[in-house]
Structure 1
C-alpha cells in the first residue's frame, strides 16, 4: 500500500470500513478507488459487510447502498452520512400511478 493510500484511509471510519471489506473479501488491504465487486465480492459477502458495519457502528445501512457504491471511498462517504444521521442518497418521493402519493 502506498503512502498516499495510507493517508487517504487514515481516519477511524475509513479504516474501519476498509478493514471490514478486507476481512469479508479475504484480501490483505483495499484501496479507496477499488470496488467491492471487482475485488471478488458477491451478494452474500455484501450482506456480511452491511451487517458487520451495522453492528459495529450502530448505523442503518442497506445492501443496496453497498451494491450501488462504485468504490470503497464512495461507500465510506455513504457510511459517514449514515453515521451523521443524514440520508446517504437523496430521498425519491413515491408517486402513485396517477401522480398521487
Structure 2
C-alpha cells in the first residue's frame, strides 16, 4: 500500500471523520462553523478532523474572503477503492482455486 492510501485509511479510521466526510459529500461546501453546529464536537475539534481529511486528499479548502469552506474530494477515495478492489480480486481468485480443488477432489 502506498502512502496516499495510508493517509486515506487513517483518516477514515475515525467515525467522526467518516461522518464529516459523508456530510461534505452530501452537502458541501461547508465551513467549520457550519459543521460544528451539526456535530457534538467543538469547532476546534472539527478543524482538527477537517485538517486530517484535507491532508488525506478527501477534502479541499476553498477560500472566499476570510471564510474557509470545505468541499468533498473523491479522488483519494477512488484510489483507495482501487487498492481495495485489487485485494478483493486476489481473495476471490484464491477462493476460486480452493473451490476448484474441492470440486475436483484434489485435496
Q: What is the TM-score of this pair, normalised by structure 1?
A: 0.30
Which one has the bigger strand percentage? 2
Structure with the greater alpha carbon radius of gyration = 2
Which one has the bigger helix percentage? 2
Q: What is the TM-score of this pair, normalised by structure 2?
A: 0.29
- Could you say which structure has the greater relative contact order, defined with CA pairs below 8 angstroms and 6 or more residues apart? 2
